[in-house]
Amino acid sequence: MKYVLMFVDTEEFASELAGMSELERARAYDRVNQWFADHSDKITHHTHLLPPNTATTVRLDRGEPLVTDGPFVEGKEVISGFAVVEVDDLDEALAIARSWPACPVVEIRPVGS
């Protein structure tokens, strides 16, 4: 079964990351790279997304489509990246998500066929 793990940054996490020294930040990224290496047999795809201010949103719920710059919601949490995992069941996806070493929220969704 395939699941998408969406990595959600919070304002607090972004501030902590920005406040780290170069060495601390390098160690944090090393932990993330190790996580990807540890789960490479289950991860079929992954990517890091650029910040929300680079987004473009198309609203389709008000007659003519409306295109705006920026994310579709202003929020304190933003999806910063994702990974697609192929696992036996939700329990295995949860085990992988629980070991994520970076941003404090991981949303898990099954992938439709």
pLDDT per residue rounded down to tens, the chain (113 residues): 999 999 999 889 989 999 999 999 999 999 999 999 999 999 999 999 998 888 888 888 878 888 887 665 656 788 899 999 999 999 999 999 999 999 999 999 999 87
- Domain holding 62: CATH number? 3.30.70.1060
14 alpha-carbon distance from chain centroid: 13
Kindly give, in sequence order, each residue whose CB lies less than 8 Å from that of residue 59, ignoring residues fewer than 6 positions away: 65, 66, 67, 68, 72
Q: Which domain holds residue 86?
A: 2-110
Six-digit token string for 83: 């990974």
32 alpha-carbon distance from chain centroid: 12
pTM exceeding the 0.95 threshold for the entire prediction: no
Total domain count for the chain?
1
